[in-house]
Amino acid sequence: AYYCIYLLADKYNVVTLQNLLKKHLKERISSLNLNDALDFYSFFHDLDNQEIIEFCVKTFMFNIENLIYMTEWYKFDKELLKKLLADSSLIVSDELVLFHALCRWLLNDQFDPDRLTNFESNACELLPLIRFSQMYETQLFLIENSKFMRDAPELVKETLR
């Protein structure tokens, strides 16, 4: 219902109604409701509404440890992942979990058939955003000896050195 009303308000330039809907949507998203944020993000991303998109991204950051296990994680594009991973306010209990989630994203082409084709460039851009300095030595050892790193192209390995 929100979508239809918003589209009509946008189409007929009913600014007061647009602002009222934005306010209501922000309140729903501000309650850290991840499912609402995921729904609204897709819709408002298509409309290029940066104001609502930013609210959704903040909700993603607060819920990242749940989000990385959802199907929607694999639907995110590289730019959104860069935005999330590069933000210093992103808080996770364990960077290793985030590293594994990123590896799964890099290797999943279910929602983006070009993802594996662009694996090397995606990995070189996104992996340096993982905060390896926050990891324990044992975690770094696990990464260095993981199947992911053994199979990774040399350029990806060089990026992480």
- Tens digits of residue pLDDT in 100-135: 999 999 999 999 999 999 999 999 999 999 999 999
DSSP state of 93: S
pLDDT at 152: 87
Which two tokens mark 49?
Answer: 């509404």
> What phi and psi values does residue 88 have, to the nearest 5 degrees?
-70, -15
- Residue 1 confidence (pLDDT) above 70: no
Say how many C-beta atoms besides its own lie within 10 A of residue 74's C-beta.
17
Nearest to 51 by CA among 33, 72, 25: 25
- Residue 140 confidence (pLDDT) above 90: yes
pLDDT at 94: 93
- Tens digits of residue pLDDT in 13-52: 898 998 888 888 777 767 668 988 898 898 889 888 898 8
- Tens digits of residue pLDDT in 79-91: 999 999 999 999 8
What is this structure's pTM?
0.84
Nearest to 71 by CA among 30, 38, 33: 38
pLDDT at 77: 95
Mean pLDDT taken over the chain: 90
> What phi and psi values does residue 122 have, to the nearest 5 degrees?
-60, -45
Mean pLDDT confidence for 60-79: 96
pLDDT at 29: 67
- Residue 2 confidence (pLDDT) above 80: no
Mean pLDDT confidence for 65-91: 96
